């Protein structure tokens, strides 16, 4: 069911500064920023030969990563994203296995224009997992 690693997401308190760090210090290829109001974040993607890094900062006061940044002021790893062929089949299999799907359980469209779901970190060794349909 689980496919390739799509990206590792890092929550940052200042997206412009973090983007500049990756671009200037590491020489990374960085996308333009993209606001995702439905998810409460603004993101950029850093393209690597084998995956991507997603930098995300809160968008609005109701952002789900605001509390994360309150606990981790400098930012840090927020979630890991795996690709799946069929997100609904993956959701149903995981739910029947006891995993908790966050939100209402229905996929939302993510930053890549594809359906995504998030899985509770307590079910995956303390790591928030995002699934993205390819």
Residue 70: count of CB within 10 angstroms of its CB:
9
Determine the topology of domain 5-133 in CATH. 2,3-Dihydroxybiphenyl 1,2-Dioxygenase; domain 1 (3.10.180)
> What pLDDT is attached to residue 62?
86
**Is it the case that residue 90 has pLDDT exceeding 90?**
yes
Taking alpha carbons only, the member of 118, 32, 26 closest to residue 80 is 118
The residues that are catalytic are 130
Q: Which two tokens stand for residue 62?
A: 């109701």
pLDDT score at 3: 96
Give the residue extent of every domain in the chain.
5-133
Alpha-carbon distance of 40 to 108, in angstroms, equals 12
Alpha helices, DSSP H, located in the chain: 15-20, 66-71, 87-96
CA–CA distance, 113 with 79 (Å, rounded to integer): 18
Q: What is the pLDDT of residues 35-80, one digit of tens each?
A: 999 999 999 999 999 999 999 999 988 898 999 999 999 999 999 9
């Amino acid at each position: 069911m689980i496919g390739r690693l799509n990206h590792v997401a890092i929550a940052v308190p200042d997206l412009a500064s973090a983007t500049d760090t990756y671009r200037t210090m590491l020489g990374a290829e960085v996308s333009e920023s993209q606001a995702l109001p439905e998810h409460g974040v603004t993101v950029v993607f850093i393209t690597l030969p084998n995956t991507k890094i997603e930098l995300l900062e809160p968008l609005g006061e109701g952002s789900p990563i605001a509390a994360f940044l309150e606990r981790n002021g400098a930012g840090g790893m927020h979630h890991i994203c795996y690709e799946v062929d069929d997100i609904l089949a993956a959701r149903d299999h995981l739910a029947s296995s006891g995993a908790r799907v966050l939100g209402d359980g229905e996929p939302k469209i993510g930053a890549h224009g594809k359906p995504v779901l998030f899985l509770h970190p307590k079910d995956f060794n303390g790591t928030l997992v995002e699934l993205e349909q390819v």
